[in-house]
Amino acid sequence: MERIFKTELAGRPLVVETGKLAQFTNGACLIRYGETVILSTVTASKTPREGVDFFPLSVDYEEKMYAVGKIPGGYIKREGRPSEKAILTSRVIDRPIRPLFPKDLRNDVVVSNMVMSVDQDCSPEIAAMIGTSIAIAISDIPWNGPVGGVVLGLIGDDVIINPTEEQRNQSRMYVTLAGTAKKICMVEAGANEVPDETMLEAIAIGHETIKEIVAFINSIVAEIGKEKFTYESADVPEEVFTLVKDFAWEKMRQAVLAVDKSVRDANIEALTKEIEEYLTEQNEEYLPYLADAVYKLEKKVVRNYLFKEHVRVDGRRLDEIRPLSCDVGLLPRVHGSGLFQRGQTQVMTTCTLAPLSFSQTLDGLDNEVTKRYMHYYNMPGYSVGEAKASRSPGRREIGHGALAERSLVPVLPSEEEFPYAIRTVSEILMSNGSTSQGSVCASTLALMDAGVPIKRPVAGISTGLIVNEEDENDFLVFMDIQGIEDFFGDMDFKVAGTTEGITSIQVDIKVDGLSLDIIRKAFELTHKGRLQIINELLLPRISAPRAELSKYAPRIITMQIPVDKIREVIGTGGKVINKIIADTGAQIDINDDGILHIATPDQEAAAKAMAIIKGIVADPEVGVEYEGVVTRLMQFGAFVEFLPGKEGLVHISKMAWSRVENVEDAVKEGDVVKVKLLEVDSQGRYNLSMRDCMEKPEGYVEEEAAPRRNDRPNRERRNGGHGDRFEKRQRRDSSDENNNVEPPHPGARSREF
């Protein structure tokens, strides 16, 4: 039965429609937020998936270009692979809902959000997050929700809930926040150096709105929610785990205590074989639970060390960062490079500079059409010691690249200050904890090495969490988690920023949420950690961006030309600008406002291109002498390019003080000659003289001369002057000769010998 539920969110109507669409799903709803419309659905398989040791959840966010009245760009007009924005939104929706499903559930669950209409003032990402929460909550799928979500902006000192497009353009931050009625489940933030205290206060304010959303969802569930289905648990049977724990507890405690990850992995592999032999002796039917039992035992041991004994497997203090090192300028031909290492996490980032025309073109649902700064993250199998071939980037790689990109955007110079497109690529060479934050540090080094004038260095660090299973108010937060602490801990809280404030946050959790006390403690540790990395590592290695760009990087000269001259610089079909590019080898980009960029590593080529363009946009002055090149010969004269892109006619009568019988006798194509601009006629054409650049013969007197048979009639000069119109009218003009009309030569003169 169709039902409609209404509320208000940030001053805009939020309408939920159920029971009409997608009735074969386990749960579905149509969300209308302003004029944004999302269809959210969830479907679960009836039986568990065999052979998996994880909960198989898939979350999709499908952008339909018709939602904003667009047809997809490019040759293929059907929506294809999801955009990076869609992938990142899927991850943002996934993270808060995943920990709330039963950990022993193995049924496939697929969440789909189809974006059908977009109102730029009403975030489709938030509408999809709320729609997902409602669809799962009213379904029969076991889940410990619901969750709510909001976007936070900051204008001045005011925190804005779900800012409009205009407000987002003014905001100092864009924070996506999700949570339950009691706790925060997810934080994804980009910020312009916002202080930690301000960020914490904003999160607290946002949580109050989330509580209202959760109450609204609960009211819907109370009316139409389905009874949750029962499922077959995939957890290790208690008797099997008890056997493994009694046999290997102390052995596992010794196995995990190793600074080196490879040593620790070898220890656990050897212990696993011992446990396998032991279970075979006890009961071979227990062997299918071997992997899960060993994982569960290792997790309990690591958590016990951390929480009860405050001992980390590599011997560090809870607030201690692993050994740090860095370097710059390792690759001679790239424009900038940086190497960052923290413990056994090692990242190499390269920086490439290019003209702004190399900015990325975006084809999405929002109004952002280009992206000047691009950051890419690659994590090959060898970084974790796996023999795995490289594949195209997955959601994790795209997400980590976007996080590092978001971390560095606030410190980049403006286009006016530094008119370059910037591409950084982080290659993960070794991975043992928080490679995304390692790529932030390595990228700072690469940008500074490339001479990009960033405001301040950016560093990132992560913190972990262990929560007492018996008392959720009893917790332990620790800094710089490595892989084993990430796997078995309850949180990966990543914060990047400068000495002045936060530039990005990303929070992954495995518990049902975080209290404000936990978040506050995480901020304290990450603040301390990033300052340590900046002040003790990055700045001592490279104290400021390099003053000079790499000799292999393009130099970009910016100049302003009159808007009405843009057409002249480009030329018909790009003829003029392409010739300049071909002649100089420089890359040239022109904006609609007349700002022009010349890019090339060769300074002479840049100067030549600039001189040509200045000549094109310059207004020739009558009476001024120029040096030009003869481009074409006609019977009546020669065309000379006296400024780049500007041609004028030197009539045969103006080639010399003495009489010239044939144009070819005076000049040839390609000759460099001096000319003087005599006039610009009513049609904007240039009449030139060569003879006026020469010394006039003594005693020279103008007088009538015998007519020249091949001269053009005077009326041609009156009716069009010179150029292509002369050529087009040659056949018609020849009729004058057939009629025996021989007018006097327009430049007739006599000479005194």
In tens, the pLDDT along 454-487 reads 999 999 999 999 998 888 889 999 999 999 999 8
Domain membership of residue 655 (yes or no) is yes
pLDDT-derived band at 737 (thresholds 50, 70, 90) equals: very low
Asked, for residue 229, whether it belongs to a domain, the answer is no
* Residues 477, 564 within the same domain: no
Q: Are residues 172 and 290 in the same domain?
A: no
Residue 611's pLDDT band (boundaries 50, 70, 90)? confident
Distance, in Å, from the CA atom of 482 to the CA atom of 434, rounded to the nearest integer, reads 7
**Six token digits for residue 237:** 């049977």
- Residues 398 and 535 reside in one and the same domain: yes
The reply to whether 598 and 634 lie within a common domain is no
State yes or no: pLDDT of 185 exceeds 50.
yes
**Is residue 350, in this structure, part of any structural domain at all?**
yes
The predicted structure's pLDDT at residue 472: 82
What is the pLDDT, as a whole number, of residue 230? 95
pLDDT tens-digit profile of 706-725?
454 444 444 444 444 444 44
Q: Would you state the pLDDT for residue 51?
A: 84
Which residues have a Cβ under 8 Å from the Cβ of 753 and sit 6 or more positions away? none
pLDDT at 742 over 60: no
Q: Is the peptide bond before 146 cis (omega within 30 degrees of 0)?
A: yes
Instruction: Copy the structure tokens of residue 119.
Output: 């109102």
Structural domain for 603, as ranges: 555-617
Confidence at residue 462, expressed as pLDDT on a 0 to 100 scale = 96
Average pLDDT, stretch 402-418?
Answer: 96
Q: Are residues 72 and 97 in the same domain?
A: yes
Query: Could you say which DSSP state residue 409 is in?
Result: G
* Burial class (CB within 10 angstroms; exposed 0-12, middle 13-18, buried 19+) of 391: exposed
C-alpha count within 13 angstroms, C-beta hemisphere, residue 662: 3
Rg (CA), the chain: 37
Q: Is residue 108 part of a domain?
A: yes
Cα 309 from Cα 626, distance rounded (Å): 87
Same domain, residue pair 124 and 140? yes
Q: Which residues pair with 176 in a beta bridge?
A: 151, 188
CA distance 327 to 337: 8
- Given a cut of 50, whether residue 741 has pLDDT beyond it is no
Structure confidence at residue 389 as a pLDDT band (50, 70, 90): confident
Instruction: Quote the Cα angle for 34-36-41, to 5°.
Output: 125
State pLDDT tens for residues 51-95. 888 999 999 999 999 999 989 887 888 888 899 999 999 999 999
Q: Where are the alpha helices (DSSP H) in 160-289?
A: 165-170, 196-224, 238-256, 261-282
CATH number for the domain spanning 719: value is: 2.40.50.140
| 335 shares its domain with 273 | no
* In the block, residue with structure tokens 């539920």: 5
Q: Each residue of 660-680: pLDDT tens digit?
A: 889 998 999 999 999 999 999
Identity of the residue numbered 490: D
Same domain, 395 and 530: yes
Confidence of residue 633 (pLDDT cuts 50, 70, 90): very high
> Which has the higher per-residue pLDDT, 405 or 734?
405
User: Region 558-563: what's the mean pLDDT?
Assistant: 90
> Could you give phi then psi for residue 517, rounded to 5 degrees?
-65, -40
Q: Is residue 44 part of a domain?
A: yes
Confidence at 739, pLDDT banded by 50, 70, 90: very low
Strands, DSSP E only, in 525-636? 555-560, 587-590, 595-600, 625-634
Answer yes or no: is pLDDT of 730 > 60. no
The answer to whether residue 747 is domain-embedded is no
Task: State the pLDDT at residue 703.
Answer: 52
Do both 380 and 247 map to the same domain?
no
Of the candidates 492, 510, 398, which has an alpha carbon nearest to the alpha carbon of residue 88? 398
Q: What is the average pLDDT value for the chain, to the nearest integer? A: 90
> What per-residue confidence (pLDDT) applies to 751?
36
Q: Which one is predicted more confidently, 703 or 428?
A: 428
Q: How far apart are CA 83 and CA 94, in angstroms?
A: 17
- 523-558 pLDDT, tens digit each: 999 999 999 999 999 999 999 999 999 999 998 888
Residue where a domain stops, chosen among 566, 591, 617: 617
pTM higher than 0.95 for the full model? no
Among 252, 247, 250, 216, which Cα is nearest to 133's? 216
HSE, side-chain direction, 13 A CA sphere, residue 721: 16
731, pLDDT greater than 70: no
Backbone dihedral angles phi then psi of residue 543, each to the nearest 5 degrees: -75, -20
Which tens digits make up the pLDDT trace of 10-60? 999 999 999 999 999 999 999 999 999 999 999 999 999 988 889 999 999
| DSSP run (H or E) holding 94 | helix 84-97
Claim to verify: residue 638 and residue 559 sit in the same structural domain: no
Residue length of the chain: 753
Q: Mutual orientation of helices 575-584 and 603-617 as an angle, nearest 10°?
A: 150
CA dihedral 322, 253, 493, 522 (to 10 degrees): -80
Amino acid at 273: K
Same domain, 275 and 343: no
Residue 697 has pLDDT above 60, yes or no: yes
- Helices 261-282 and 238-256 cross at an angle (nearest 10°) of 150
pLDDT at site 746:
40
Is 429 part of a structural domain of the chain?
yes
Residue at a domain's end among 224, 255, 280: 224
The predicted-structure confidence for 573-606, as pLDDT tens digits, reads as follows: 888 899 889 989 999 989 888 888 999 888 888 8
Higher pLDDT, 26 or 389: 26
Residue 718, in any domain of the structure: yes
pLDDT tier for residue 177 given thresholds of 50, 70 and 90: very high
Q: Band of the pLDDT at 367, cuts 50, 70, 90?
A: confident
Q: What is the pLDDT of residue 437?
A: 96
C-alpha closest to that of 119 among 19, 31, 205, 213: 31
Whether residue 34 is found in the same domain as residue 140: yes
Asked which of 425-434, 545-554, 567-576 is least confident by mean pLDDT, the reply is 567-576
Burial class (CB in 10 A: 0-12, 13-18, 19+), 218: middle
Average pLDDT over residues 235-249: 94
| Span 309-320, pLDDT tens digits | 888 988 899 999
The number of folded domains in the chain is 5
Look up the CATH number of the domain holding residue 586: 3.30.1370.10
Q: What is the per-residue pLDDT across 613-622, written as a single tens digit (0 to 9) for each?
A: 888 888 888 9
Lowest pLDDT segment from 35-44, 531-540, 563-572, 726-735: 726-735
Point out the domain boundary residue: 281, 309, 337: 309
Q: Taking 50 as the threshold, does the pLDDT of residue 210 lie above it?
A: yes
Amino acid in position 569: V
Angstrom distance (rounded) from CA 543 to CA 535: 10
Identify the CATH number of the domain in which residue 467 sits: 3.30.230.70
- Cβ pair 151, 174 in contact under 8 A: yes
pLDDT digits (tens, 9 = 90+) for 298-342: 999 999 999 988 889 888 999 999 999 999 999 999 999 999 999
